[in-house]
Amino acid sequence: MDEKEVREKLRSYITRELIRDESYRLTDDEGIVTGGLMDSFSLAEFAVYVESEFGVYIPDSDLTVARMNTLDQMVARVMQDMK
Amino acid sequence: MTLNRQDAKNAKNAKKSRDTTLSCPPKMPKNGHDNVVSLRARVRLMLTLSTRSQYATLLDAAALRLGEETAIVYLETDQPPIHVSRTQFRRQVLAYAAALLDMGIVRRDLIIITDTQSLASIYAFWGALWIGAIPSMFPTLTEKLDPDIYMQGLAELAARSGVRAILTTDEFAPVLARHVPCPVYGSSRLRDTSLQTQTGIEDMDVGATHESPLQTTASEEASVGTRRAVSGGHDNVVSLHRPQQSEGEVCLLQHSSGTTGLQKGVALSHAAVLNQLASYSDAVGLHDGDVVVSWLPLYHDMGLIAGFLLPLAQGIPLVLMSPFDWVSHPALLFRAIHDYQATLCWLPNFAYNHCARRIRARDLEGLSAASMRLFINCSEPVYAESHALFLERFASLGVTEPMLSVCYAMAENTFAVSQTPPGQIPHPDVIDRIALEQQLIAQPTEPGEGAVVKLSCGMPIANTEVRVLDDAGTPLPERRVGELAIKSDCMLSGYYQRDDLQPFHDGWYLTGDRGYLADGEVYVVGRSKDLIINAGKNVYPQDIEALVNTVPGVHAGRVVAFGVPDTREGTELIAVVAEIDTDDAEARQIIDRAIRQTVAAGSAVTVSYVSLVDSRWLIKTSSGKIARAANRDKWQQERGR
């Protein structure tokens, strides 16, 4: 799976499941947590999704608002461990 | 109809469950894990209904007695656990008390602690209690909140309540100091000052033993005093002696949530807190083999009383972690339960869903929760579905249905009002929906279409009475729905420096919650007010609406916010409906984004649904007010749910 595919899967998952509005046009660099689009509880849900969808386990130390606030950050972290 | 827990049937149940617990020592985890630590409490004199008279103030807490038993195990992500013994705890508290005196804090001063959760803020809290000042824990500034709005709120609170000082992080202290009308101290200032007094306090241990638990020895006060006299050159040496505090004095404040500047400080006396701890310990069958684990914030009544003061006062070990860590990494809770053989854990309803849905399987490998006695669901409406989900996910770790209990609580009663008996599954009351909604009667019926299930919140705890009142204030019989009212020996003294607010009506506190009594047990069905409880947090829709009204493009005054119960999340989600003028997709997106951002920055809650609608969508009452319930119904209908 290439980066583009990962990005679009994540974008679609976040708008559908976490923002609960599929018409929301999520940009690559907007603050998802700091912008009030999802709460910090959703970081844990995001981690569950990433593990089941991409087989990537993100350690707790990376699951922070500072490190997972934008789509760009999330994609980069997933790609880091994608085989 | 008036009830209290002295009921014979209930006492029998409580006794039975205690006996069972005592005869079954905590089991070892199935998959013996290297990290398991046994925290044994040795409590000579627990605070019970019968020993209550031997406790005068919170300073008689067992954690303040000398001893090597564990007072607190503090857990942080990627850090080794910090074990604090009673002796260490006491020493730190005394050092912080001395540091506070050094800063000029004296008896009856109100101190706001708005630090990130840490051992330092815990010592500061107890240090303030020690010198007879009045501490109050407060939420800290987060990434999402707008610092200006947050600081303005604190400034209003400081002015209104006469706050003497604010304790916060080093980083934030100089910024905050420019915005509030009182001194602000960073945590290192307090820590450094406390370190200066440490040497002197170490001397105190000589001669003080387990056998002199309840009083500071003369020698320890003298040695602290001597040290202070040498180091500081102050003449208030004697003031580190525990001031003579009386039971009736206000010892701490719990702040209600809501618009910060208008938050009410729920003032609690030593007597109220001790009475609550004695009654509630009885209700959960507390014993010296218990270990409490908590991730709850200390500015919340459940976190402060059940997850903090209760274990420290009783001398049972407290395993504590930061809410910020737990929220992103919910498996930490189960790791802690396993590692420390925990037995008691208080959780708001959403936490059951959060744990069940968002813990990764590999984070649970090798863990056991079989040591647990009770998970206590409290502080937001309890969903039977959440218990079922939790049980399904964690049964393999040893979680069983009788471990899942329910408590009804509020800060104005210090904490608990009622509690289901330990080991007894909360009764699911199956009642007729139409009779409930139209006649305000909880009419038992068969499960199925037209039935709703309400879970029991248990019997009132000892010395707390619960009544149900109609709109005219007349008590109602069992199974009639009305406003819940309480009377107890652990109620608030009043709202701090708000003599204009009268919390009592003929000695009863009206809770604002609607419910009924059946077989002596309390059932909560809703609220009289429009309050939203989101993830255990009280949210006032008018606060959300006020924020959304400031967003450009939104018709001011044409906004409504309401809660939407969500069984997947196990809590109420927040929805906002706002009238706007434009059909342009891009302009709408900008408004949508601004609404979410403005609410997050101004209130620290997340809006789950934003609906932008045309003019005249909203329903107003004949007096021109926004009708929240009617608008919620309309919104839900349009979404087809």
CA distance A67 to A58: 11
Answer yes or no: is pLDDT of B203 > 50.
no
Contact of B136 with B111, CB cutoff 8 Å: yes
Number of domains in chain A: 1
Domain that holds residue A17: 3-81
Name the pLDDT band for B44 (thresholds 50, 70, 90).
Answer: low
Residue among B117, B467, B556 nearest B320 (CA): B117
Name the pLDDT band for B489 (thresholds 50, 70, 90).
Answer: very high
Cβ A41–B607 below 8 Å, yes or no? no
- Of chain B, the end-to-end C-alpha distance in Å amounts to 38
- Is the dihedral angle over the CA atoms B96, B101, B107, B113 positive or is it negative? negative
Identify the burial level of B141 via C-beta atoms within 10 angstroms of its C-beta, where 0-12 means exposed, 13-18 middle and 19 or more buried.
buried
CATH number for the domain including A25? 1.10.1200.10
CA distance B167 to B421: 39
In degrees, rounded to 5, the angle at the alpha carbon of residue B560 between the alpha carbons of residues B348 and B152 is 70
CA distance B252 to B139: 16
Residue type, B293: V
* A35 contact residues in B (CB cutoff 8 A): 593, 596-597, 600
In degrees, rounded to 5, the angle at the alpha carbon of residue B386 between the alpha carbons of residues B509 and B334 is 100
CA distance B39 to B42: 10
Answer yes or no: is pLDDT of B84 > 60.
yes
Answer yes or no: is pLDDT of B2 > 50.
no
Mean pLDDT of all residues in B462-473:
96
CA distance B470 to B474: 5
Name the pLDDT band for B631 (thresholds 50, 70, 90).
Answer: very high
pLDDT attached to residue B16: 39
The CATH number that domain B84-246 falls under is 3.40.50.12780
- Of chain A, the end-to-end C-alpha distance in Å amounts to 9
pLDDT attached to residue B34: 57
Mean pLDDT of all residues in B603-623:
89
In sequence order, the 6+-apart residues with CB closer than 8 A to the CB of B185 are B103, B165, B166, B167, B168, B173
Residue A25 has its nearest CB partner, among B354, B589, B609, at B589
Cβ B324–A40 below 8 Å, yes or no? yes
What is the three-class DSSP state of B237? helix
| Chain B interface test: which of A15, A17, A22, A41 (most B C-beta within 10 Å) | A41
Contact of B76 with B93, CB cutoff 8 Å: no
Cβ B354–A41 below 8 Å, yes or no? yes
Range list for CATH 3.40.50.12780 in chain B: 84-246
Cβ A57–B78 below 8 Å, yes or no? no
* CATH fold of the domain at B532-638: GMP Synthetase; Chain A, domain 3 (3.30.300)
Report the number of secondary-structure helices (H) and strands (E) in chain B.
18, 28
Return the structure tokens found at B168.
């916060």
Interface of B with A (CB under 8 A): 77-78, 143-144, 324, 327-330, 332, 350, 354, 357-360, 362, 535, 589, 592-593, 596-601, 605-610
Mean pLDDT of all residues in B605-612:
94
- Min CA distance, B595 vs chain A (Å)? 9
DSSP letters for B150-208:
HHHHHHHHHHHHTEEEEEE-TTTHHHHHTTSSS-EEEHHHHHHHHHHHHHHHHHTTTT-
Element of type H or E holding B332? helix B331-340
Quote ipTM for the complex.
0.86
Contact of B459 with B8, CB cutoff 8 Å: no
Residue type, B605: V
Tens digits of residue pLDDT in B346-362:
999 999 999 999 999 99
* B583 contact residues in A (CB cutoff 8 A): none
Name the pLDDT band for B230 (thresholds 50, 70, 90).
Answer: very low
pLDDT attached to residue A9: 96
Residue B525 CA: distances (Å) to CA of B148, B359, B442, B561: 38, 30, 10, 21
